[in-house]
Amino acid sequence: MTNRLISTEPATGAELWSGEIGDAAFEVAAARAAWPEWASQSTSYRMETLRRFANVVRGREAEFADLIARETGKPLWEARTEVGAVINKVEISVTAYSERTPQRKMEAALGSKIAVRHKPHGVLAVLGPYNFPAHLPNGHIVPALIAGNAVVFKPSEKTPATGALLVDCYREAGVPEGVVRLLIGGPNEGRALAGQDGIDGLLFTGSARAGQALHRQFADMPHKILALELGGNNPLVIWNAKDIPAAATIALQSAFLSAGQRCTAARRLIVQDGQADDVVAAILKMIDRIIVGAPHDTPAPFMGPVIDNGAADHLQEQFLGLMMKGGKVIRRLDRPDERKPFVTPAVIDVTGIDGLPDEELFGPVLQLIRVPDFETAIAEANNTRFGLAASLVGGSPEQYERFWSQVRAGVINWNKPTNGAPSNAPFGGVGLSGNHRPSAFYAADYCAYPVTSSEAELARASIGEGLRDPNMLED
């Protein structure tokens, strides 16, 4: 058994990076030892340290984007936007911490005061995903550090090099080595980290199945914070759209950005029967223009490969399963080279399928569902255990209000794609998409806990009822 983890480039299969598999107990102990000193620093000191981190990343932007592109397979232009999000996260988190966890003092009786302040939890574990291997874990780590926590970060075993570079940038900025620990490894190391007594919480971004397992693991540990940011089976409803090409473009962005490897990607396209053909024709016309290629190709591709051959194989099996259940293929999911995980955008009509699988197809597959009326469209949008993102394209303001009020999701858009949520707003879902601890701007909420204090400079106390009159007591 090897004690090293190897990362390969999805687009080429070439070895990119290797690192020694770590020990969860060792990393947690190191973070535990370093945490008190970091927590004792002022919030301003920690914020300034993270601002230096943003500057470090800015100075290494080209290197960082190149590594993300090579390790994930996403186009270089998209990797650059991810690095930009890493940089911008710092100021957003500074603002969020000040707004979400302010210190407050309120007047109380007899000259006393009520104070509300916040404390860090201690040592937080962060498990990162492969689709945004820098931005998404950074979205947990930066708020956690500002709040005064130490962090043990295990990147996805599919993108460890990006995780290692992210940690290098924290340390170059002056975050103490013990305060951010890097744990390299696979699922076994992730489970070991989640099970450490020395962590005070776990912040996770990944699949619903893994999130459910963590929820069960933490069921008898209410003293530990657990924030789950999971996937989605997201609906995109196109209804009486006046601009069909614009609606098709939004559908394309929703379903196929990042090769469909976004938790907010549209998985189900819901259209009124009788209007679907024009919408689908416009989408197919756009699909014909999509360039699928390697990250550094010229001209730049719209999407690259999925993360690895295993993911491509699984996606093909899921697509075949829909066909076997009666799905009508509109555009096939092709695999141009069986040795590499490139797949082409696909569309399949699943309207006639009884018992349509409620699962996240994590790739560029869009399932078409035709419905007779808007009420059925809303019901179909809610026909899922997930609840992350949903979008209505077209429709009237009154229909959007109905859509917003009745659809169960944490991100609900109008005439916008399902993906691309802003970092200066909360982000999260319900159902199998999360556990009511939204991240992004609201990450400050789970990185510190409020402490209420009743305070007075002098001790004063009296009991007005229930005591015997002292004058009536016998000597």
Task: Give all domains of the chain, ordered by start, each with its CATH number.
Answer: 4-230+434-455 (3.40.605.10), 234-414 (3.40.309.10)
Whether the per-residue pLDDT at 460 is higher than 90: the answer is: no
User: Of these residues, 71, 189, 229, 360, which one is catalytic?
Assistant: 229
Average pLDDT (168-175) is 98
Kindly report the average pLDDT of the chain as a whole number: 96
- Is residue 169 part of the annotated active site? The answer reads no
Amino acid at 354: D
**pLDDT average, residue stretch 14-20:** 97
Instruction: Please tell me the distance from the alpha carbon of residue 252 to that of residue 366, in angstroms, as a whole number.
Output: 9
pLDDT at 1 over 60: no
d(CA 298, CA 268): 31
Q: Looking at residue 457, what is its pLDDT?
A: 87
Q: For 18-70, give the DSSP string.
A: EEE---HHHHHHHHHHHHHHHHHS-HHHHHHHHHHHHHHHHHTHHHHHHHHHH
Please state, for a pLDDT cut of 70, what percent of the chain lies above it: 99
Bond from prior residue into 305 cis (ω within 30 degrees of 0): no
9 catalytic per annotation = no
Judge contact between 272 and 239, C-beta under 8 A.
yes
| 8 Å CB contact between 128 and 162 | no
Confidence of residue 471 (pLDDT cuts 50, 70, 90): confident
Give the mean pLDDT of 66-70: 98
pLDDT at 387 over 80: yes
pLDDT, tens digit, 9 for 90 and up, residues 230-289: 999 999 999 999 999 999 999 999 999 999 999 999 999 999 999 899 999 999 999 999
Torsion sign, CA atoms 67, 258, 357, 330: negative
Q: What is the pLDDT of residues 203-228, one digit of tens each?
A: 999 999 999 999 999 999 999 999 99
pLDDT tens, position by position, 99-136: 999 999 888 877 789 999 999 999 999 999 999 999 99
Q: Which helix (H) or strand (E) holds 397?
A: helix 397-406
Residue 295 predicted with pLDDT over 90 = yes
pLDDT at 474 over 80: no
- The predicted model scores a pTM of 0.95
Of 9, 263, 360, 380, the active-site residue reads: 263
How many whole angstroms separate alpha carbon 91 and alpha carbon 52? Answer: 11
Whole-angstrom distance, CA of residue 436 vs CA of residue 430: 6
Helix H segments across 148-275?
Answer: 160-172, 187-194, 208-217, 244-256
pLDDT for 112: 85
Residue 138 main-chain phi, psi, to 5 deg: -60, -30
Question: Tens of pLDDT along 417-454?
Answer: 999 999 999 999 999 999 999 999 999 999 999 999 99
Q: Which amino acid is at 130?
A: Y
Residue 456 or 249, more confident: 249
